[in-house]
Structure 1
Amino acid sequence: MLARNSWRRALSTAAAAEISRGATRRWPRRVGRFLLGTTVVGGAVYVVDRQYQASAIARSIRTLSMGLIVSLDYKLNFNVENVEGIDALHARSAERLYDCITKNGGLYIKLGQAIGLQAAMLPPPYRRAFANIFDQAPTVPYSEVEQIFAKEFNGMSPDDLFDSFDRTPIASASIAQVHRARLNGQEVAVKVQKMAIAKQIEWDLWCYRVLLKMADWWFEMPIAFLSSYISEQITHETDFEREARNSTRAAKDFATDPWLAARVYVPKVNWDRTSRRVMTAEWIGDAHRLNDGEAIVRRGFNTKSIMDTVISALSAQTFVFGFVHCDPHPGNILIRPHPADKTKPQVVLIDHGLYVELPDKFRREYAELWRSIFVGDIRAVERTAKLWGIDPGSGDLFASSILLRPHRLKPKPRKPSEGKDGEEEKQLTPEEYKALMFQQQEAMKKRVKTFLQNEELIPRELIFIGRVQRMLQGNNQVLGSPSNRVNLTAKWSAIGCRVSLPPVSSIFTLGPKPLLSGIFELIVFRLSLSLIDLAFRFTRLQQWWRGQSSRRGSGFEDLLDRQVRDMARHQLGVDMDDESLDVLIQS
């Protein structure tokens, strides 16, 4: 009996060993088959993605991987125990983000440029990394241009549609490139969308929204609510028929104002050669970019007259027409001799892809906000702030962000221990300074969350209107601040308020008290403008005395810029420097 049991145990052990050996032999085969299958499927997806989807999937994986790595890096290493390593953290994160954007190209360049324009609010490594992002727009071969034309114009090529068509583009941006051509004996500019954009856009914007949500979740910064609106506006830029309609409408708006009609020009669109991905417009020759100050002066043109016209054109669009060109960087503003009088300049606005239509309610509120700031109507400013979901207690910061100049609605409270000029700032060691900057960046997040009390109420249009004002400020600075931007904008806001009022305003329609109140506010408004104008003229006199009237860095806008930086440093903990403006000017 015992022998029989031993024999059975031996058989069971041998069988178990055999089964184990079989499983051991099968395991590598299964792993091998899995790896082989994964490789085959991955290779097939890669080929299909590259050939038919313009690498949209690969670009999305690269983006999400970068976002996850950067998020984890900040979550693990941005803390008070790692004060010494925070600069390095910013540097490697900025490099990862920049590498991802430049490798992906396409719409990512436009998103990178948006980061570059807001680099003033980011740590210095981001400013340095994105300083040259505006140059990252390679061209595509002529064969792609032919394919676009064939799809858009029923198989026809550029040679079929134009008298002549230059194969080499004269300019290239993130979405399209521009070719010079001749049509019916006239020179035209032909804007051709890059083929990959249509395949990549949905993936790219999805990744953009995911990244903003990750930042919102990881860092508790209320920014994800902007993603849908910004994505929608970027999508509009890829529709060239929409751009053509924007251009035509802008020309009609300017024509309604005699002063602007004589000074601002929008190139005419050729609708027969325009489609969703191709746009043909009048060629503008013998023109200079707005930031080419030396060439403009050599032509004998007055830079003040030019900047007054540019600021007035964008202000009229903001406060009166309610239809705003939101990409007024120097490359999109050309200066040429006026066709009717070669001795005078004419401002030409091009690239009308990014426009924002302002709801009439928002346009009136925004115009009224400017007026309220200048007449010192604290209640009106705080009422607008609350209406827009912004902390009413942040009135000074709110007003300053609108004007892009320091503005205090109430006198600054003075600490009992402060002397006349306040306490002298303590000299900090490098370690103490870094620890202070960490504390300020942490406090900034809390202030931003407090400032943006109700994100659902914040007008999305403010994003782009603020961008326009910052670009106008930068354009003015690069020419030496010849124009009083704040006063000009304020005057157009008053026009916008007047347009919003009933046609007849008198003692009979308003009553004596509101009418007298309006007259008093008008006096205060004009007095405020006069005081700002006096400061502006004094700065211009200083520039002239020092021989710096056309130099950047010595004008009124530069003085305001430095004051805004001081306010940002003390109230938000944001340390801005001159590199911030350099990024804007290069755009």
Structure 2
Amino acid sequence: MLRQSIIAASHCPNPSVAGAAILSATRATRCLSRTRPYVRQLEAAFATPSTTIQIQNRIPQRLYSSRSNRPTWPHTTAAPGPSTGSFEPLIPPSPSKLGAPRPARSYTRTRHWSRRLLILSALLGLGYLTDKYIYASGLARSLRTFGVGLVVAADYKLNFRPEPLPIPWIGIPEGIPELHRRNAERLFDLLRHNGGLYLKIGQAIAMQSAVLPPEFQAMFSRMFDDAPQDSWEEVEQVIREDFGGRSVEEVFGISFTGKEGKGVMERTARASASVAQVHWARLPDGREVAIKIQKPEIEKQIGWDLWAFKVVTWVYTWWFDLPLYSLVPFISERLRLETDFENEAKNSEIMRQLVEKEPSLRGRVYVPPVYPELSSKRVLTTEWIEGIRLWDKDAMTRPWLGGYGNGSAGVHGAQLDPPDMAAIRNALRKSTQGYTHMIKPERTEWKGRRGKGGLGLSTKDVMTTMVDLFSAQIFKWGVVHCDPHPGNIFIRRLPSGRAELVLIDHGLYVYMSDKFRHEYGEFWKALMTFDNNKIKEITNEWGIKAADLFASATLLRPYEGGDDGGFQTKLMKHLDGKKTASERSYEMQARMKQGIRDVLADEDKWPKELIFIGRNMRIVQGNNQYLGSPVNRIKMMGTWASRSLFQDPNLPLGRRLVNYWHHFLFKFVLALTDVAFYFFRIRQLLHRGGGMEDELEARMRDVAKEFGVELQHNVFEG
């Protein structure tokens, strides 16, 4: 049959079909050849003639043509005997005899977990990308905050004790200082790494670091370093988004290519802070302006940051049993308003009008005007200020070399001398990559040819103006600038030789109600005259139990006029002299913790404005101390408090006349405080000791040591 197939294929007229047929026949022949050994086994197994004949008839004879020449199949045992019965094929067993069926092995659990891992990985990746590019890493920053906050809380909960735990991996053999150091480092790294609003919180902590352990003071003093600048592309993005898609050139009328009739602007920021950065520009009409541009990530991060702040404060309130969480809504609202530049513009204009209407401050204080047509929610354009910062004490006091009858550039809002615009435009035209370096002239003629000149001002004149300004805000207007640190205050010289104080950065304000402002004035007057009944009456109205402790916190000095000898005597009472120093310190800090609870006793009645008013006064005290305590700050504030009570237009005429008489008596009593002030002042001039602020803080430091707190005052150094 195979041979016939090959012959038929050879006669096929189609060569391709013939080739395929021959190939198939050849393969079949090879397969049959491989079956020969099995055929021999079958012959041996069925060694009967009839069976052999049947098998041979079924297999082509060609396969047996050389059968006699091939060796037989080797057998190690004798072949079975011949079968006497007929051939029966193999029958498979019945299913009933195989037993119950078993299902095939399934890997459903492995497949489910693999699928879950893939879904989880995809969701995590999607969440990371969403958080990074849509929310500016707000979620990641919050999780980082929770982690560090819990570690710090657990560390203090476990290790803040008179004696360290004996367990090596939990205890702190170095003691409490090492506990403070490592947690200060953790918090500092968290605030610097997160940036943005966290930096502003860190700066607020740094301003109050004098009441923190020395380890915190050393770490947080670096919080005032400039923050990194955003790129110019990000600056352009913010301006386009806030001004309806218009470019920087269109909004401010400037040119980076030197076009005639256009203004100029510096791409590099003159200052960069936690929330915004400031660029200098000269408008086409000749005005020099400071353009404050919010960093684009702040708007996306602030919601997450404030939420994290609330959660951490809630945990600390519960864990350490301190009534802090009730303060969170008010603080969060103030921080959110601080990032709203429209709110800052409103505060600035209100303060500008109040200063202009106050005869005692007009001409001594200057608030730069805001240009609303060039401002938005994230862009604030104000007059550019030439001057020196408050912290440059040396430049403030060196001799004036700017000429008799002359003042600093720009005093009273005078237009500044224009830069060489022709040279600037030529440089812009020649530059292929745009003008990237600074354009604004330095205007340092007042330093003289050798650069050794200064403003020739008295520190007493500067601090008198400052204390008058912030006392008027607190006691007379009820509109308080709560961030008067040295970076927000410029000093200029008037043609008369007096100091002009320029106040900028009006984002953080509190507004006092007339009732609260009046009560606060009465409270300060009572502090100066040791009127303990009035002090208790007002503190009870505010929900405060520890009147002596709150009085000391307000005066920033120990208040010893209490009926029971003052808060120091009260808290030192019943301390066991046999205890070790660490045990006494621990017990004192526990009493201090109870004192905080007493100050915040009734959270509903407690005036939340006190948080930021206290911050204002602490910063002003630090400024006075930094300049050598040239003025009696407490007397000046007490005078403003008493004066506000008879100048209050909301009071009836009779009440105002009574307050005026009380004010006259009050000034006579305050004159006695000048004796102490001038004593410390003369001692300071003779290099026999510090000024009055130094003496007050030294007393506070001695008291604080009893609480295990080491006060410092080098907040602005380094």
TM-score (ref. length: structure 1) = 0.86
Runs of 4+ in structure 1 deviating by more than 6 angstroms, as ranges, are 425-428
Native 8 Å contact 1:132 1:586 kept in 2: no
Q: Does 1:97 align with 2:187?
A: yes
Given residue 476 of structure 1, which amino acid in structure 2 is its aligned partner? N
Q: 2:679 aligns with which of 538, 546, 563?
A: 538
Please state how far the C-alpha of 1:523 moved relative to its aligned partner: 6.0
Is the CA contact (8 Å cut-off) linking 1:181 and 1:188 kept in structure 2?
yes
The SS at the match of 1:280 is strand
2:461 aligned with 1:305, yes or no? yes
2:149 is the alignment partner of 1:67: yes
Larger Rg: 2
1:4 paired residue number: none
Contact 2:213 2:711 in 1 (8 A): no
- Selected match of 2:275 from 175, 182, 206: 175
Are residues 1:166 and 2:266 paired? yes
**Aligned partner of 1:575: which letter?**
V
Structure with greater helix share of residues: 1
1:42 Cα offset (Å): 0.7
Counterpart selection for 1:556 from 684, 692, 700: 692
The verdict on how the C-alpha distance between 1:436 and 1:15 changes in structure 2, with shifts beyond 3 A counting, is: farther
Structure 2 counterpart of 1:72, one-letter code: A
Query: Displacement of 1:444 after TM fit?
Result: 2.0
* Alignment check: 8 A CA contact 1:375 1:524 kept: no
Secondary structure of 1:58's match? helix
Bigger relative CO (Cα 8 Å, ≥ 6 apart): 1
1:335-361 superposed Cα distances (whole Å, 9 cap, x missing partner): 0122xx252221100111111111111
8 A Cα contact 1:568 1:575, kept in partner: yes
The question of whether the paired residues in 1 share the 8 Å contact of 2:226 and 2:272 is answered with no
Q: Residue 130 of structure 1 aligns to a residue in which SS?
A: helix
Segments of structure 1 that go 5 or more residues without pairing to the other structure are 1-6, 415-421
Aligned to 1:156: 246
Alignment of 1:115 onto 2:231: no
Match among 440, 462, 466 for residue 614 of structure 2: 466
* Counterpart selection for 2:709 from 571, 575, 579: 575
Worse overlay, 30-39 or 465-474: 30-39
Change (3 A) 1:273 1:342: farther
Pairing 1:505–2:587 present: no
Structure 1 residue 277 corresponds to structure 2 residue 367: no
Greater CA drift, 473-482 or 90-99? 90-99
Structure 2 counterpart of 1:3: none
Instruction: Give, in angstroms, the shift of residue 542 of structure 1.
Output: 1.2
Amino acid at match of 2:153: S
By how many angstroms is 1:489 displaced?
0.7
- 3-state SS of the aligned residue for 2:480? strand
Q: Out of 219, 239, 252, which is 2:353 matched to?
A: 252
Deviations 1:4-37 (A, max 9, x none): xxx99x967x949x65xx3xx4444433332222
Measured at CA, do residues 342 and 54 of structure 1 come closer, stay the same or move farther in structure 2, by a change above 3 Å? farther
Which residue of 634, 646, 667 corresponds with 1:486?
634
Partner of 2:550: 398
**How many residues matched?**
542
Relative to structure 1, is the Cα distance of residues 544 and 77 closer, same or farther in structure 2, using a 3 angstrom cutoff? closer
Name the SS for the 2:501 alignment partner: strand
Q: Residue by residue, what CA displacement relative to the aligned partner does 1:447-505 show, whole Å, maximum 9, x if unpaired?
A: 22123221211100000110110000000011111111111111111121112374533
Q: Within the alignment, does 1:51 sit opposite 2:133 as a pair?
A: yes
How much has 1:410 moved relative to structure 2? 3.2
> Which residue of 14, 21, 42 corresponds with 2:124?
42
* Aligned mates of 1:124, 1:478 — CA distance in 2: 18
SS in 2 for 1:324: strand
What is the rounded CA distance, in whole Å, between the counterparts of 2:267 and 2:181 in structure 1? 40
Q: 2:369: which partner in 1?
A: 268
Instruction: Render the CA deviation track for 1:397-427: whole Å, top value 9, x for unaligned.
Output: 222211222222236659xxxxxxx99x989
Does residue 1:475 correspond to 2:575, yes or no?
no
Q: How far off its partner does 1:518 sit?
A: 7.8
Unaligned segments of structure 2, at least 5 residues: 1-94, 166-172, 254-262, 399-454, 567-572
Write the distance in 2 (CA, Å) between the matches of 1:11 and 1:120. 87
The structure-2 alpha-carbon separation of the partners of 1:454 and 1:332, relative to structure 1 and needing over 3 Å to count, comes to: same
CA distance in 1, matches of 2:563, 2:604: 31
> 2:472 maps to what in 1?
316
2:342 aligned partner: 241
Q: Distance in 1 between matches of 2:673 and 2:647?
A: 24
1:31-84 deviation per Cα after TM superposition (whole angstroms, max 9, x unaligned): 333222222111111112111211111111111122222223333333455264
CA RMSD of superposed structures (Å): 2.8
Counterpart in 2 of 1:145? 235
Please say if residues 473 and 485 of structure 1, whose CA atoms lie closer than 8 Å, have aligned partners that are also in contact. yes
Query: Contact conserved, 1:404 with 1:564, CA < 8 A, in 2?
Result: yes
Letter in 1 for 2:498: K
Moved more, 132-141 or 355-364: 132-141
Distance in 2 between residues matched to 1:522 and 1:152, nearest whole Å: 51
Give the match's secondary structure for 2:560.
coil
Identity of aligned residues (%): 42
CA distance in 1, matches of 2:362, 2:207: 30
Q: More deviation in 561-570 or 460-469?
A: 561-570
CA 451–239 in structure 1, closer or farther in 2 if over 3 Å, else same: closer
Contact 1:374 1:524 in 2 (8 A): no
8 Å contact kept, 2:489–2:501? yes
Matched-pair contact (CA < 8 Å) for 2:196–2:274: yes
> Which residue in 1 is equivalent to 2:392?
292
Read off the aligned partner of 1:582 and give its amino acid letter.
N
Preserved CA contact (<8 Å) 2:156 2:179: yes
